[in-house]
A and B are shown apart, each in its own frame.
Chain A
Amino acid sequence: MVTARHTAWIPHAVLIAGLVLVLLPIYVAFVASSHGLPDILEAPMTLVPGTRLVANFAEALCAGTAKTSGEPVTAMLFNSLVMALVIAIGKIVISLPSAYAVVFFRFPLRRLCFWAIFVTLMLPVEVRIIPTYKIAADLSLIDTYAGLTLPLIASATATLLFRQFFLTIPDELVEAAKIDGAGPWRFLVEMVIPLSRTNIAALFVILFIYGWNQYLWPLLITNSPGMTTIVIGIRQMIGNGDTQTEWQIVMATALLAIMPPIAVVLLMQRWFVRGLIDPEK
């Protein structure tokens, strides 16, 4: 690599500026969640952490704010976790077999099936919200975990990624398995799934974040406060001017909302980056 020695500090300066921009909102939220409300309202707010961090987090987790009629954040976190896990695992569980069927078999209407799955890429929840809501209501899925997750579980992305990967499995491997008398199920369970471990891990991270961060669909499908997820629940905590927003609790909740997906990304960073970028995924 060609570098000029005397300008070597420039990349570091730019990257540090980038880090500041990334971390500033998170840091200010952290500081706010460690103070009492009066300290926050006293403009300009201090940027030194206070002493009420544990108390504020405990209050958020156990009681929430008065505006959510005391709905504790613990319940929202639980709902978010269920939703993210069911969506991530569900998508993998239904799209791996469908990709396997499309790649390793020839059957009538195979192309049609593949295209039927593929075009769902073009139908995000946002463009079919009201009819989907009506169907969910007809199936009495309002305020249920099934309603929260099922309509989001069909995934063209995961199917396409698995298909790409399955196409790279050498024919010789399939041949050898067949000669040894392995049928399609055995080949799937004993060869294909173990070979797909890295892809599954990468997809899990991407889909967990996708599920955790869902907004519009949970907003529609949940009416009872007990079913709300943390990403939408935080909205009800912010006052509309009539009442003073309890910012220290809101910021503690915001931090609680970003911690699980950040933890997943950090713990599985290697697979995640590879899965996201690698064209051979």
Chain B
Amino acid sequence: MERRVIFPGWVCPALLLTPQLGVTIVFFFWPAAQAVLQSVRGGDAFGLATRFVGADNFAALFADPDYLASFAVTAIFSAAVALLALAPGLLLAVMADRVVRGAAFYKTVLLLPYAIAPAIAGVLWMFLFNPSIGVLAAALRALGVDWNYLLDGGQAMALVILAAAWKQVSYNFLFFLAGLQAIPPSLIEAAAIDGASPHRRFWAIIFPLLAPTSFFLLIVNMVYAFFDTFGVIQNVTQGGPAKATEILVYKVWYDGIVGLDLGGSAAQSVVLMAIVIGLTAIQFRFIESRVHYA
């Protein structure tokens, strides 16, 4: 889309663009290029010089069982976070769309977790599930569950998934509610007159009409689970126990900053970049198509 009426000259726009382009070049393109360069270089044993090693870092990466394990952990984590954040978001939106009394109140409260940092959400849930003093941990133990997420990898995973998803339900709720409110009531009424049950009306009419929203949210949630959940992991499990919750973003940070393996960490950064570019491209294609057909 282009404007017909514009202002002449190029000095003015150049000045207006300078701050943004400056920051973008210094803090985005330069480091991203460095990451790519770094990823094809390796240091000698003393860290005195680096040389070109081609795809060695990538080969080493994909030959590393720890890295492959981290991929698997990330896949499980992000799929579970997306599902656990989307399904309740949809359910609550459908219910909020039906009520009149108290609707504004429900909406306001359900919005709150959006404002809470993932890292703090992690601390709050960690307190509830603390093996020795947590309220919910005590409840689980009363039910006969041997709860100790500090020792059990599966339980640790469940806890970080819960904390990460809890924070994201708000966002999905808002978008689903907006999507629901955009559906013309006449459609639902027509289906009701034709004798469709509420159940059938949801699955045959409402759910398909929400598909574009759901798809958009799925990508947003995947990106969230991939990149924004570092704080949850760092605060709750530090990737443990025994790397059971070491997602890719956590591993990039750990290998690079704690382990000082710059080449390997840069190669991991490049892999992550490829993932996020792929996800963004899918999302952008979708947004463009929605603009055309809306």
B-contact 0/1 string along A38-60, CB 8 Å cutoff = 00110111010000000000000
CA distance A43 to B135 in the complex (A): 8
Residues of A near B209 (CB, < 8 A) are none
Selected from B117, B174, B269, the residue in CB contact (under 8 A) with A273 is B174
Residues of B near A269 (CB, < 8 A) are 108, 111
Interface of B is mostly: helix
Selected from A98, A131, A251, A276, the residue in CB contact (under 8 A) with B174 is A276
Judging by beta carbons under 8 Å apart, are A123 and B28 in contact?
A: yes
Residues of B near A105 (CB, < 8 A) are 6-10, 12-13
Judging by beta carbons under 8 Å apart, are B24 and A238 in contact?
A: no
Residues of A near B152 (CB, < 8 A) are none
Judging by beta carbons under 8 Å apart, are B24 and A120 in contact?
A: yes
Residues of A near B109 (CB, < 8 A) are 19, 22-23
Judging by beta carbons under 8 Å apart, are B198 and A126 in contact?
A: no
Selected from A97, A132, A247, A262, the residue in CB contact (under 8 A) with B31 is A132
Does A200 lie at the interface of the complex (its beta carbon under 8 Å from any beta carbon of B)? no
Q: How far is the CB of B143 from chain A (nearest CB, A)?
A: 13
Given known A23-B109, A130-B262, A258-B120, contact A94–B23 (CB-CB < 8 A):
yes
Residues of B near A41 (CB, < 8 A) are 132-133
CA distance A113 to B109 in the complex (A): 41
Q: How far is the CB of B34 from chain A (nearest CB, A)?
A: 4
Selected from B29, B99, B249, the residue in CB contact (under 8 A) with A126 is B249
Judging by beta carbons under 8 Å apart, are A265 and B111 in contact?
A: yes
Residue of B nearest to A21 (CB): B166
Judging by beta carbons under 8 Å apart, are B95 and A15 in contact?
A: yes
Residues of B near A184 (CB, < 8 A) are 7, 9, 12
Selected from A103, A122, A153, A183, the residue in CB contact (under 8 A) with B280 is A122
Residue of A nearest to B123 (CB): A254
Selected from A153, A174, A232, the residue in CB contact (under 8 A) with B3 is A174
Does B234 lie at the interface of the complex (its beta carbon under 8 Å from any beta carbon of A)? yes
Judging by beta carbons under 8 Å apart, are B124 and A29 in contact?
A: yes
Judging by beta carbons under 8 Å apart, are A15 and B16 in contact?
A: no
Residue of A nearest to B31 (CB): A131
Judging by beta carbons under 8 Å apart, are B5 and A209 in contact?
A: no
Given known A10-B95, A113-B21, A130-B262, contact A215–B106 (CB-CB < 8 A):
no
Residues of B near A167 (CB, < 8 A) are 1, 3
Does B119 lie at the interface of the complex (its beta carbon under 8 Å from any beta carbon of A)? yes
Judging by beta carbons under 8 Å apart, are B230 and A126 in contact?
A: yes
B-contact 0/1 string along A243-262, CB 8 Å cutoff = 00001001100100110011
Selected from B13, B32, B169, B230, the residue in CB contact (under 8 A) with A128 is B32
CA distance A231 to B3 in the complex (A): 43
Q: How many A-B residue pairs have CB under 8 A?
A: 293
Given known A108-B10, A213-B117, A277-B174, contact A150–B110 (CB-CB < 8 A):
no
Residues of A near B26 (CB, < 8 A) are 135
Q: How far is the CB of A68 from chain B (nearest CB, A)?
A: 14
Residues of B near A75 (CB, < 8 A) are none
Judging by beta carbons under 8 Å apart, are A43 and B98 in contact?
A: no
Does B53 lie at the interface of the complex (its beta carbon under 8 Å from any beta carbon of A)? no
Residue of A nearest to B114 (CB): A265
B-contact 0/1 string along A10-34, CB 8 Å cutoff = 1110110011011111101100100
Does B17 lie at the interface of the complex (its beta carbon under 8 Å from any beta carbon of A)? yes
Does B71 lie at the interface of the complex (its beta carbon under 8 Å from any beta carbon of A)? no
Judging by beta carbons under 8 Å apart, are B5 and A128 in contact?
A: no
Does B43 lie at the interface of the complex (its beta carbon under 8 Å from any beta carbon of A)? no
Residues of B near A151 (CB, < 8 A) are 23, 27
Residues of B near A94 (CB, < 8 A) are 19-20, 23
Among A4, A104, A128, chain B packs the most CB atoms within 10 A around the CB of A128
CA distance A175 to B249 in the complex (A): 50
CA distance A234 to B121 in the complex (A): 12
Interface residues of B in 207-235 (CB under 8 A from A): 227, 230-231, 234-235
Does B60 lie at the interface of the complex (its beta carbon under 8 Å from any beta carbon of A)? no
Judging by beta carbons under 8 Å apart, are A150 and B23 in contact?
A: yes
Interface residues of B in 118-140 (CB under 8 A from A): 118-121, 123-125, 127-128, 132-133, 135, 138
B-contact 0/1 string along A170-195, CB 8 Å cutoff = 01001100100001110100000000
Given known A11-B98, A129-B253, A129-B269, contact A258–B116 (CB-CB < 8 A):
yes
Residue of A nearest to B231 (CB): A215
Residues of B near A126 (CB, < 8 A) are 227, 230, 249, 252, 272
A-contact 0/1 string along B256-269, CB 8 Å cutoff = 11000010011001
Q: How far is the CB of B219 from chain A (nearest CB, A)?
A: 12
Residues of B near A197 (CB, < 8 A) are none
Selected from B128, B231, B253, B273, the residue in CB contact (under 8 A) with A28 is B128
Offer 23 A-B interface pairs, CB within 8 angstroms, sorted by A: A28-B128, A44-B135, A44-B138, A93-B19, A98-B17, A101-B14, A107-B10, A107-B13, A122-B273, A123-B32, A128-B31, A128-B269, A129-B256, A130-B257, A130-B269, A131-B35, A134-B31, A174-B3, A175-B5, A212-B117, A213-B231, A215-B231, A238-B123
Closest 5 CB pairs of A and B: A131-B34, A215-B231, A131-B31, A213-B117, A101-B13
Question: A126-B252, A131-B34 are known contacts; what are 6 more A-B pairs with Cβ within 8 Å?
Answer: A106-B6, A108-B10, A120-B28, A130-B262, A235-B234, A269-B108
